[in-house]
Amino acid sequence: MKNKRDEILVNGIFQSPLAENCPKELSASRAAKVRRFHKTMEGYTLTPLVSLPGLAEHIGIKGIYIKDESFRFGLNAFKSLGATWALARILCKKLGTDVHSVDFSFFRQDKIREKIRHITFATATDGNHGRGVAWSAGQLGCRAEIFMPAGTVPARVANIEKEGARVRVTEVNYDDTVRMAARAAEENGWTMVQDTAWEGYETIPLWILQGYTTMAGEVLEQIREATLPLPTHLFLQAGVGSMAAAVLGYYVNILGEDCPATYILEPDRADCMYKSAMAGDGKPRAVSGALDTMMAGLACGEPNPYAWNILSDFSSGFISCSDGAAALGMRHLAHPEPGDPVIVSGESGAVGPGLAEAVMTVPALHDIRENMGFDRDTVLLCFSTEGDTDPVNYKMITGEY
């Protein structure tokens, strides 16, 4: 009998990109400054961009590239890019220093560390963002307080605690945990470092979002160096939407008319972007409840308003899909076609290639495929944003023991 978790259900809403004015906060010059800073960090290296010709042939498209973020700073996910840039900007502001005039070694100086060691950063997280904040704070000699929603698996808690942070698992969902963390930060004089925004709290989320442009810039560099064709299609998964907006906003600035058709993917139990698009009035919408999806990093019910504006203006559509799409992607990347390398991709990382395989091979998804314009000439770019951050579930889904 087929496991319900393997069932693949997909809904989509499609549009023509609306806006002409590129988001200036994600321009080439600003992204270059962010990447310059990241390059000064110990352990910085380009994460792999992997071409999977076997998978592409299997599903009937021309090519598929996977940006494998499981190698980022040894943290098994990409989120440290946003955390390090945001923390650097926060600290430079407190120190009265221009962030563009320093590199990471600036924060290693004894006199600087003495000034910042009492600073505490707080955040709410499903796992990867909190680990990035905890690791970044530890690298800087600061403290971190991490709040996690109900249902968080022990492995994600343990990984954050290993970075020296204090972790509190709440009894509420992600969005309510964000509010709980914000109240605690205000009461205790901590600095909130959240990757979503709300009224009166917009600057730090933007800095986090800008940090993610390093990942997007690396991809274009790797495509050029390998003389690969540019992608025609781009899949970006969204929780609050910050990663998706960072990548799409950057590519709109850099590629212009050559920007690939971009689709925003969400779990159907936490599809706030899809619901926002369905409303049709340009305003973000929230979804509530338990947000019960194994794609824990995407289990967010309220969009980042700044991210929503970019995605609603520049994307080609929004896709809501069941956990089965992520499970399919996890299994196929773990057990690749002959000649393709193994990619260890977690629940929130594998939904892109899983959805691509589903829309190309499942007859019931023919209309989705047609609306996306997927055919033999398609070259797809996906971001595997995490590795096996829940090892127990990864083994259960992939059979890798």
Catalytic residues: 79, 126
Both tokens assigned to 302? 């309220």
Sign of CA dihedral 79, 305, 390, 174: positive
Pick the closest to residue 318 from 387, 376, 245 (CA basis): 245
Backbone angles phi, psi at 30, to 5 degrees: -70, -40
Which residues, other chains included, contact 182 with Cβ-Cβ below 8 Å and sequence gap of 6+? 124, 192, 194, 201
Cα–Cα distance list, 264 to 245, 255, 318, 351, 364 (Å): 10, 18, 5, 11, 20
Contact 207, 85 (CB under 8 A): yes
Cα–Cα dist 389/48, whole Å: 18
- Helices 305-314 and 203-211 cross at an angle (nearest 10°) of 50
Contact 305, 197 (CB under 8 A): yes
CA 5 to the chain's CA centroid: 22
Cα–Cα dist 182/34, whole Å: 26
